[in-house]
Amino acid sequence: MSTKTDHRHDDMTLDELVDALRRDGSRVTTARRAVLEEFLHCREQHPSVEELAERIHRRYPDIHLSTVYRNLGRLEEAGVLARVRVGDGPASYHLSTDVHDHAVCERCGVVLHLPPQVMAELAELLDVELGFVLSPSHVTLRGACDSCRRRQPTLKTK
């Protein structure tokens, strides 16, 4: 499960994230801090809720799964996190400062992070042709990654 092109958000600090929470009018609790810390520590990944809860549970054994769910929700509303649905499985989250789109290989399951200019071009096209304003970091493309397509060049139509 490798990942390509990771970028930015190295400047994010816990305090900044916590402030965003406060600005949202939400309370700052141990559980919420724990969630945020997890995102700062596991940079670059898209942890699923389950993964996240498990990791948090190691350090704070009585933070319950449902609390993690609730907090991810609140953090999303506060604009701190973004929810992504990569494939059919459970949802995952990432810091919304770390904006990127995804391309999933349907053969090997690798998740590529798309460099911004690729989607920028698409966004331009959608805007001009349909008046549609593309939301950042909510796109998940599917297809065959470079190595898989080389390995077995013809794409199934079955």
Note the residues at the interface with a second copy (CB under 8 A). Answer: 77-79, 85, 88, 103, 105-106, 112, 114-115, 118, 121-122, 125-126, 129-135, 138-146, 149-150, 155, 157-158
**Residue 40 touches which member of a second copy, DNA, none, C-beta under 5-8 Å by kind:** none
Nearest to 37 by CA among 5, 7, 4, 75: 75
Helix 30-41 to helix 65-77 angle (10° resolution) is 80
- Using the rule CB under 7 A, is 149 a contact of DNA? no
Q: DSSP letters of 93-111? A: EEETTS--EEEEETTT--E
Beta bridge partners of 92: 48, 84
- Taking CB under 7 A as the rule, which mask of x and - marks residues 77-96 in contact with DNA? ------------xxx-----
Binding interface with DNA (CB under 7 A): 22, 26-32, 48-50, 60, 62-67, 69-71, 73-74, 89-91
